[in-house]
Amino acid sequence: MLGLLGSAGVVAALIGSVLLVIRGIGLARGGEGDLRRPAKLVLAGAVVSMAAMQIALLTDDFSLAYVANHHATTTPFPFDVATAWAALEGSIILWGLVLAVFTWVVARRPADRLGAAALAVMGGVGIFFFGLMLTVANPFEVCVDALTTGCAASSPWPFAAVDTPVEGPGPNPLLQNHFLMAVHPPVLYIGYVGLTVPFAYAIGALALGVPGPEWLRRSHRATLVAWSFLTLGILLGGWWAYEVLSWGGYWAWDPVENASLMPWLAATAFIHSGLVQQRRGMLQAWNFVLVISAFALTILGTFLTRSGTINSVHSFTQSAIGPALLGFLVLVLAGSFTLFAMRSHLVASSPRIETFVSREGTFLVNNLLLTIYAFIVLIGTTYPLLLEAFTGSQVGVGEPFFNRLAVPLSFMLLLTMGFGPVTPWRGAPAGLLWRRLRGPAIVALATGLVVALTVTRVAWVILAIVLGVWVAAAIVGLLIELAGKRSAKSGSSVYTEAKTVIRNDQPFWAGQVSHIGVALVAVGIAFAANLPLHAEVELAPGDSVEFAGYTLTYQAPFRREEPNRLVQGVRVQVGQGDRVLTTLEPRANFYDNEMGGIITPAVMSRPGGDLYLTMRDLDSETVLLGLDTSPMIWLLWLGGLVTAAGGFWSLAARRRERVLPEPRVMADV
């Protein structure tokens, strides 16, 4: 029954998408028509299909093969809800739902020709994803051959003779081990799918032959929403890895992590280069290239994650969807760039850049660095796959390769981030830059000296701190300078004037908040990567060990039954001097559908950083404990949040601006 309902929803969304394409093209060619209704149909269909899946999961309806193979009666809340996107077919429902919401939001504006063309493109993307749900990744297939647990064979035909299993194996243990796994995919998907909007506007603008900045203005908010969620999603992914994967790290240049980083890098470059076009009319062609690449990279990311082409902890499933996604990726690239080539005589025009010592000059450097960064991640991720596919020889590309190239690039980006915000558009006199930057340089070096004398002299850490402070000090210095000038004129306090300065150009200052967030991330990574301590100890109950200034006492092993798992671990008391700080429970979680236990770390967070305990081995007498520290790791989490917050704050500013009448926008068309 629910299978029928879900399939009906998918069919409705597919019909809505087809209508969007047909009517969108008609409207874009100057015809008449309404696009809100098809957009509503897409949204309604997607909502119904997601609702059907959720009801099936919450009511343990094992007649659906997806539920039978990825859910169990014992799966607790919120993991039963999250199971809807814990495996391939379900995650496509989520993808479709997010796409439907973005489509509906775009369609809410009265559609002019550009808007109609963009909606037609979004409809096209919708046809592909809803089409997937009816063919190679059908989440609503019914089970026709039940196993003791799970389902051996299924049929896409909702009226097929159903053979309902009584129980399922439950979701992948790694995914039900931490609540972050319930949150991380939706957040990341909003980021991924959101990039469809600027892509759709770009293709629409190319098709109509209006390469002016209008498409950038119209998709600006969606780009910011996508970028902010992508930032947040990557952060949550790193945090999940840290809390669950028990090696004390948050980023391993795993292909699936890279899959989320590549669109982020491209989108970050796009946000900056889009500004150059809006302000100076430059980089028209480049913006098209970037936005097409960013969208293509999200499809590539989905392909890498979901096709099972690379086996990693994330690629928990394999299916025939690989060729479909790959085909769509090539269609997107070939189609977009063909259209781009056909319109190149329109987009190639751009005014001359007067000097590289200008805001647009720093943006050029920024774009060059970010693009090379994305390219390195792309080639490092795909090279082993391509080499193996074409020659059969196996090579590994891992952390050492990425770190060697990405670390210097990151530092160059930080250096540029100090220059960018204080450099005016159209060029700056050298004296102005020197006046604005000597202060930050002195503050940054002085901070570096203090840290080198008191904390550590590790080169990477010092470099990260000097450059991080340099970025922040340049921003604060600029704010003080601008507010000071106003205050000298008006007589009110610098603080009041600073608030006015920010209010007058909130998107700019929101961007600076993101810059400070990135600087925090850099410092956090430098500390956590360069100064961790590690030890392994074997302890009997009652034994104590000194580690990183803490006294760890192994109290006793414990064992407890939870609804969906058996938890076996040890209690370790953590003390400092005479004080008892806390008791940690490093453990292994045993799930029914996995033989070995999932080693789950216990973490104590303090201002200086984390203490990270893992249970390596437990027998009747002793426990083998892995002891790690992650110095200042909270800077990384905080920095990620601040970066995303900058994006969201910038959105708030745009909304206020929209109260103003918009004749200026229309005049440009």
Partner 1 sequence: MSDRARNIVSITVIVVMAVVLFFLVSTRPATVDRVAEIGSRIKCPVCQGESIANSPSQMAEDMMDLVAERVSSGTSDEVIVDELLGSYSGAVLLDPPASGNTLALWIAPVAALVLGVIVILWWRRHPGQDVEEPPPPGRSRARLIIGGAVLVLVFAGIVVFAANSLQDRPAVAAGAADLGEEDLSDVSNETMEAVIAANEDDPQIVGMRLALAERYFEAGDYRSAFPHYLEVAEHPSATDPEAITALVRLGWMAFDGNGEVETAVRLIDQALAIDPGSQLALYVRARVLWCGSAETEQAIDAFEGLLAQPDLAPETRSQIESDLDAARAGESCP
380 in contact with partner 1 (CB under 8 A)? yes
For residue 545, list its beta bridge partners: 552
Compute how many other C-beta atoms are within 10 angstroms of the C-beta atom of residue 218.
Answer: 22
599 in contact with partner 1 (CB under 8 A)? yes
> In the range 605-634, which residues lie near partner 1 by CB under 8 A?
614, 616
CB of 457 vs partner 1, minimal distance in Å:
4
CB of 629 vs partner 1, minimal distance in Å:
14
Q: Which helix (H) or strand (E) holds 567?
A: strand 565-576
CA distance 449 to 588: 44
Given the complex with partner 1, which of 470 and 637 has the nearer CB atom? 470
Q: Which of 31, 76, 78, 327 contacts partner 1 by CB under 8 A?
A: 327
**Interacting stretch for partner 1, rule CB under 8 A, among 39-47, 93-101, 151-159, 513-521?**
151-159
**Interacting stretch for partner 1, rule CB under 8 A, among 350-358, 468-476, 542-550, 569-577?**
350-358
Q: Who's near 662: CB < 8 A, 6+ residues apart? A: none
CB of 496 vs partner 1, minimal distance in Å:
28
Q: Which of 30, 159, 352, 659 contacts partner 1 by CB under 8 A?
A: 352
Cβ distance 92 to 140 under 8 Å?
A: no
CB of 107 vs partner 1, minimal distance in Å:
27
Q: Are strands 579-584 and 602-606 parallel, antiparallel or unpaired?
A: unpaired
Binding mask of the shown chain, residues 553 to 592, with x at each position contacting partner 1 by CB under 8 A? ---------------------------------------x
Pick the closest to residue 137 from 165, 158, 156 (CA basis): 156
> In the range 265-304, which residues lie near partner 1 by CB under 8 A?
281
**Interacting stretch for partner 1, rule CB under 8 A, among 231-239, 289-297, 306-314, 570-578?**
306-314
* Binding residues with partner 1: total (CB under 8 A): 106
Q: Are strands 587-591 and 602-606 parallel, antiparallel or unpaired?
A: unpaired
CB of 482 vs partner 1, minimal distance in Å:
20
**Interacting stretch for partner 1, rule CB under 8 A, among 230-238, 488-496, 542-550, 593-601?**
593-601
CB of 571 vs partner 1, minimal distance in Å:
21
Radius of gyration of the chain (CA): 27
**Interacting stretch for partner 1, rule CB under 8 A, among 106-114, 183-191, 338-346, 571-579?**
338-346
Pick the closest to residue 191 from 260, 129, 115 (CA basis): 260
**Interacting stretch for partner 1, rule CB under 8 A, among 323-331, 513-521, 577-585, 658-666?**
323-331
Q: Who's near 561: CB < 8 A, 6+ residues apart? A: 567
Q: Is residue 78 reached through a cis peptide bond, with omega within 30 degrees of 0 on the bond before it? A: yes
70 in contact with partner 1 (CB under 8 A)? yes
CB of 275 vs partner 1, minimal distance in Å:
17
Number of continuous H segments (helices) and E segments (strands) in the chain? 21, 12
Question: ∠ CA 480-484-489 to the nearest 5 degrees?
Answer: 160
> In the range 450-489, which residues lie near partner 1 by CB under 8 A?
452-453, 457-459, 462, 466
CB of 447 vs partner 1, minimal distance in Å:
10
CA distance 3 to 143: 10
The token pair that represents 376 in the structure block: 């390195």
The token pair that represents 660 in the structure block: 């103003």
> In the range 71-130, which residues lie near partner 1 by CB under 8 A?
87-89
CA distance 435 to 608: 35
Compute how many other C-beta atoms are within 10 angstroms of the C-beta atom of residue 592.
Answer: 14
